[in-house]
Amino acid sequence: TLNSTKKLDNGIEMPRLGLGVYKMTEPEEAYGAMEKAIQVGYKAIDTASLYNNEEQVGEAVKNASVSREELFITTKVWNTDQGYDETLRAFEKSLTKLNMDYIDLYLTHWPVVDKFKDTYRAIERLYDEKLIRATGVSNHEPHHLEALMATANIKPMVNQIELHPYLTQLENREFAQKHKIAITAWSPLGRGRVLEDAVINDVARKYNKSAAQIIIRWHLQNDIVVIPKSVTPSRIAENAQVFDFELSEEDLQLISALHRDERYGKHPDTFK
């Protein structure tokens, strides 16, 4: 069900499916998408200070028929705000915009060279102060995580990376599994481009599901937290109808074999 969660290393339960809200800068559009998602049972929203819609997240959560505690809110510190003191200040701003007294998960958006370790130290402090329920990072390669973990007191609980059938991220996933770091897939549908894939559409016909549902299900069965984005109400609902069927091992493999190292975003080593 939509209440299905992934247990993070500190015991916190993170919803396995959430709404991603990147490029929803029109306030009404963002609010409408979040309102719809919560109405149909989504329990998580993935935002970032960069997305410029934390205020709408706050409003949608405040007006929801479910309580704040039932929802899981992720936000991120943007690259120009990194560093120890800067991150603490950026967090305060996000918290104010979100109009909340805590956030479930706070992430370093990208590993800014010479800053990401200090950024993460600030995130650890926020965790110690109970202002966030879990710590994490985004776009960190194993070498970034190794560098962090060499000095960190608290291991990051989540790494959010670009991941979809054309970019299966085996190395990152193996590293994460070994260190009990949960993986969240961003652009889980490859920004919509993997939806056209012929193999995925064949599988979709077989299960009488849409291509989007097949891809989301593939993530879930691979133990990957998934945050597809849509502003279209029918698609928001469709993307959540993924707990009533199961892909066979054979079909999972067929989809994994589509990997072709194709990125729609930047690489963490050259993102500037």
Which residue is closest to ligand NAD by CB?
Answer: 20
Q: Cβ 16 to ligand NAD, closest distance in Å?
A: 14
| Options 29-37, 112-120, 126-134, 191-199: segment touching ligand NAD (CB under 6 A) | 191-199
Does 138 engage in binding with ligand NAD (CB under 6 A)? yes
Q: What is the 3-state secondary structure (H, E, C) of the chain?
A: CCCCEEECCCCCEEECECEECCCCCCHHHHHHHHHHHHHCCCCEEECCHHHCCHHHHHHHHHCCCCCHHHCEEEEEECHHHCCHHHHHHHHHHHHHHHCCCCEEEEEECCCCCCCHHHHHHHHHHHHHCCCEEEEEEECCCHHHHHHHHHHCCCCCCEEEEECECCECCHHHHHHHHHCCCEEEEECCCHHHHHHHCHHHHHHHHHHCCCHHHHHHHHHHHCCCEECCCCCCHHHHHHCCCCCCCCCCHHHHHHHHCCCCCCCCCCCCCCCC
Does 187 engage in binding with ligand NAD (CB under 6 A)? yes
What are the counts of helices (DSSP H) followed by strands (DSSP E) for the chain? 10, 10
Burial group, residue 84, by CB count within 10 angstroms (0-12, 13-18, 19+): middle
Does 181 engage in binding with ligand NAD (CB under 6 A)? no
Does 227 engage in binding with ligand NAD (CB under 6 A)? yes
Task: For ligand NAD, give the closer residue by CB, 106 or 186.
Answer: 186
CA dihedral 32, 38, 40, 45 (to 10 degrees): 90
**Residues 6 or more apart whose Cβ sits within 8 Å of residue 69:** none
Q: Residue 140, annotated ligand binder?
A: no
Task: For ligand NAD, give the closer residue by CB, 122 or 183.
Answer: 183
Q: Kindly list the catalytic residues.
A: 51
Q: For ligand NAD, which residue of 38, 123, 189, 204 counts as binding (CB under 6 A)?
A: 189
Count residues near ligand NAD (CB under 6 A).
26
Letters for 228-267 (x = contact with ligand NAD by CB under 6 A, - = none) are xxx----x--xx-------------------------x--
Q: Cβ 14 to ligand NAD, closest distance in Å?
A: 14
Task: For ligand NAD, give the closer residue by CB, 41 or 265.
Answer: 265
Does 46 engage in binding with ligand NAD (CB under 6 A)? yes
Does 15 engage in binding with ligand NAD (CB under 6 A)? no
Q: For ligand NAD, which residue of 15, 20, 136, 165 counts as binding (CB under 6 A)?
A: 20
Q: Cβ 111 to ligand NAD, closest distance in Å?
A: 11
The tokens for 119 are: 């950024």
Does 37 engage in binding with ligand NAD (CB under 6 A)? no
Does 165 engage in binding with ligand NAD (CB under 6 A)? no
Local structure of residue 65 (DSSP, 8 states) = S
Does 218 engage in binding with ligand NAD (CB under 6 A)? no
- Catalog residues that contact ligand NAD under the rule CB under 6 A: 20-22, 46, 109, 138-139, 160, 186-192, 195, 210, 212, 227-230, 235, 238-239, 265
Binding site for substrate: which residues? Answer: 109
